[in-house]
Amino acid sequence: MQSMNRLVLSSTVFILFAGLFGTFANAEEIPSWVKNNAQYWADDSIDDATFINALQFLIAEQIITIPETEVTENQSGEIPSWIKNNVQYWAQDAITDLDFINGIQYLIANGIIVIEYDDVPKLSLSGNFSSGDFFHQTSGSTNIEFSSEKTILHLGDDFKTVNGPDLYVYLATDKQAKDYVSLGMIQKFSGLQSYDVPDDVDLEKYGEVLIWCKSFGVLFGNAPLEK
């Protein structure tokens, strides 16, 4: 096994927390030189730092997503031979991207690669409300904030909607609320307020924030979420 100094991924790199497993956004987007570097590293033709730079590129470009990984107390500082074998197999398309990511998580868990999670900027989605119609006016901003512990939807301090009965905050697939996740009854008709988002909500699918009258099935306002 080859020893390796701890390498710290830059705190300016964006980390997208993606639940239990990491993913690749699109395998076709992985530049060929990344897999070439993986093969060279497995063959000991390049050093550890050069290979880590390739990993940094994947993370910075959000091609690879790594969930926050707990570091174990027993840190050997050594890279097991199976890690390099996995990297070589991945470079040759003999194993899946997930198997490759599991190897990276092993390096993080054992303190060989160190990610400073506290200093990493958190990904945020945001949007601005449009009114449901002339009689159901809504305006202001909203955003969803991600952290290692929870996901929170905020209605901004500029948020305002007309007083209505049985109003709820939904995350929905469309303005008609054909498919939605309820975040609860609206807390107040204007101003800053926050709602917890369940961990299992797919925000690529539920990309609209709705202010919805549950009793009458009426849209008071909607805000499409964007990065």
Which residues sit opposite 226 in a β-bridge?
126
What 8-state DSSP symbol labels residue 122? P
- In one-letter notation, the amino acid at residue 53 is N
Instruction: Kindly tell me if the per-residue pLDDT of 205 is higher than 60.
Output: yes
The residue-averaged pLDDT of 148-153 equals: 80
Least confident of 10-14, 131-135, 164-168, 222-226: 10-14
**pLDDT value of position 40:** 80
The residue-averaged pLDDT of 104-111 equals: 76
The residue-averaged pLDDT of 213-219 equals: 96
The residue-averaged pLDDT of 184-207 equals: 93
CA distance 143 to 56: 27
CA distance 205 to 14: 22
pLDDT band at 5 (very low <50, low <70, confident <90, very high): very low
Helix (H, G, I), strand (E, B) or coil at 41: helix
Helix (H, G, I), strand (E, B) or coil at 63: coil
pTM (global) more than 0.95: no
Residue 181: count of CB within 10 angstroms of its CB: 17
58-62, 114-118, 156-160: which has the highest mean pLDDT?
A: 156-160
Instruction: Kindly tell me if the per-residue pLDDT of 85 is higher than 50.
Output: yes
